[in-house]
Amino acid sequence: MLALGGELARRGHAVTMETWSRWQADVEAAGMTFVAAPEYPVFPTMERPMTMYEAVVRAVSETRPAVARARPHAVVADILTLAPALAAELEGIPAATLVPHVHPAPPPGAPPYSFGARWPRTALGRRLWQRLDPLVERGLRYGQRELNETRAQLDLPPVQRVHGGLSERLVLVGTYPQLEYPRDWPAQTHVVGPLLWEPPSDPVELPPGDAPLVLVAPSTAQDREHRLLRAALEGLGELPIRVLATWNRRPLEGAPVTVPDNTRLVEWVSYARTMPQCALVLCHVGHGTMVRALHSGAAVVACPVAGDMGENAARLDWAGAGVRLPWRLLRPATVRLAVQRALDEPALRRRAAELAAWSAAND
């Protein structure tokens, strides 16, 4: 969202961005007006028994005045952030949806979203996956009922579509079209490529030499014990490569680690400056890290751990730009084998270069 808003501001539009206070300096540095979004837990606990949709109703009451004051020509809401879109509807302002990852509604015959299974190779495989469609449909209808109950509390009419959080006017899908399974897209849906942004940071010194550079880029939200980072430090030390590894400002607690001679371990690294120099990126395959690597022409070794990472790994594998390493198989030896395989397959680098070329040609 910072990437989108910042680019709109650079093109001369007046942009207001409502988000958490931690991002205020970055919002204002990008030329936007900052508005503080409501911040509170959205999952029920004994101390705070508030469901997600109860939180939405409350957030609408706090967001609507900001929308009314700004009187924008359009509101863009994240797919998981319903309140701004509902506030815009109440104010009679067109609302668009930004999907900052692959589209969460796969085409018919595809595995359900987040299963981590890739597009079937045969018609029989597609028919087998379609047998799960009724189960998925029931889940979507349940979500539709909850959304319509929320809309009723706001005096808004019910929606008939199951993906009620997606705009009927404009949906921007912020990923590569090469990562999307084949389908006929609705007229309002546009796969626009990844929207890339990162906080400012100081440059870091790379490991010396001219051997292939591998970046170890763990998730900033998952793997709190740094299993991937520890396995990489132990498994990659003997390979004829250079390794730049980061702990992403989450200290390595517990057993001490040994940093091999071919490796530099740092607190933080700029992906935008570093990844274009990399042959390979080893990561948990959060969407932002994955598409930044592909934008830079680097192949990816993906070790998904939670959330939509399994889906991202499946799309990466299907697109031919990386190697999957299942979380349950994560060991120093398997990291070494996956990295060796990725470096030994020129087709992966060629495919990553194709996506980087697409990025250069498509703003």
Domains of the chain: 38-191 (no CATH), 213-361 (3.40.50.2000)
- Residue in this structure with the two tokens 């992403």, named with its chain if needed: 248
Q: Please state the rounded mean pLDDT for residues 30-43.
A: 84
- Write the DSSP symbol of residue 79: T
Separation of alpha carbons 6 and 235, rounded Å = 40
Does residue 291 or residue 139 have the better pLDDT? 291
Q: Is 164 helix (H, G, I), strand (E, B) or coil?
A: coil
What helix, strand, coil percent values describe the chain, rounded to 5?
40, 15, 45
Separation of alpha carbons 43 and 63, rounded Å = 19
Confidence of residue 252 (pLDDT cuts 50, 70, 90): confident
pLDDT at 41 over 80: no
Q: What angle do CA 99, 100, 103 make, to 5 degrees?
A: 50
Summary mean pLDDT of the chain: 92
Separation of alpha carbons 16 and 118, rounded Å = 39
pLDDT at 47 over 80: no
Separation of alpha carbons 322 and 306, rounded Å = 18
State what percent of residues in the chain have pLDDT above 90. 74
Query: Mind listing the pLDDT tens digit for each residue in 319-363?
Result: 999 999 999 999 999 999 999 999 999 999 999 999 999 999 998
Q: What angle do CA 358, 187, 320 make, to 5 degrees?
A: 30
Q: Please state the rounded mean pLDDT for residues 103-123.
A: 89
pTM: 0.92
Which residues touch 275 (CB under 8 Å, ≥6 apart)? Answer: 215, 281, 292, 293, 295, 296, 298
Confidence of residue 137 (pLDDT cuts 50, 70, 90): confident
